[in-house]
Amino acid sequence: MMKRDECFKILARHVADEIVLATYSSAVEWNDLNPRVLNYFSIGAMGLASSHGLGLALARPDKRIVVLDGDGSLLMNLGSLVTIAAAAPKNLVHFVCNNGCYEANGGHPIPNPKVDFTGLARSAGYAQCHDFSELRSFEQQVGHVLAQDGPVFATLHIEKSRPLKYEYRDLYAASRRAAIKAALQQAS
């Protein structure tokens, strides 16, 4: 079992000009560790992170899109695994942080904490699927995971995190949205 912030610290060392699309607890923790213009936060309609990621991946095949999803969030949009697999964007890397609970909503368990997200993604048709429970293994392989032709899926088995401060208005401020759009237009 890993800690999300430790996984994200490792991930941050490998992220350069990728668009990182994070949701809820992953968004809070990623933004604390790595604030940057090319962070896109999916807040307000739980479950849609993977769909936002697909849109970005289709729009910008020249850039890699890294989705930091949550287990409860992905359960609300499991069909997106099938949609993404069918659309087959090579530039999409989809992580799900699996701590078995709705961390942003009081820590209640998801309906079945034993759900095999990696197996679901594999069955849906993702090109590459991974499962990480050990930080050392994640550290050794994350560069390879990010470089593979996608769609790539990886489950990160994590513990519940320290208490987080959820400032959703800031995460989805209009100024952030304008900044990332401007940055993408400059980079096109």
**Residues binding another protein (CB under 8 A):** 21, 40, 42, 44-45, 47-60, 77, 79-80, 82-83, 86-87, 172, 174, 177, 180-181, 184-185, 188
Tokens 């609970």 found at? 101
Helices (H), 60-98: 71-75, 79-87
- What is the rounded end-to-end Cα distance, in angstroms, of the chain? 39
Is the Cβ of residue 132 or residue 153 nearer to another protein in the bound state?
153
Distance of CA 162 to the CA centre of its chain: 19
Q: d(Cα 167, Cα 15) in Å, to the nearest integer?
A: 24
Shortest distance in whole angstroms from residue 143 CB to another protein: 25
Is the Cβ of residue 31 or residue 42 nearer to another protein in the bound state?
42
Shortest distance in whole angstroms from residue 81 CB to another protein: 9
Is the Cβ of residue 74 or residue 142 nearer to another protein in the bound state?
74
Shortest distance in whole angstroms from residue 183 CB to another protein: 10
Shortest distance in whole angstroms from residue 56 CB to another protein: 4
Q: Considering just the CA atoms, what is the radius of gyration of the chain in Å?
A: 15
* Token pair of 120 as six digits: 């679901």
Q: Are 113 and 70 in contact (CB under 8 A)?
A: no
Is the Cβ of residue 55 or residue 115 nearer to another protein in the bound state?
55
Shortest distance in whole angstroms from residue 139 CB to another protein: 29
Is the Cβ of residue 14 or residue 168 nearer to another protein in the bound state?
168
Rounded to 5, what percent of the chain is helix, strand, coil? 45, 20, 35
Q: d(Cα 188, Cα 186) in Å, to the nearest integer?
A: 6
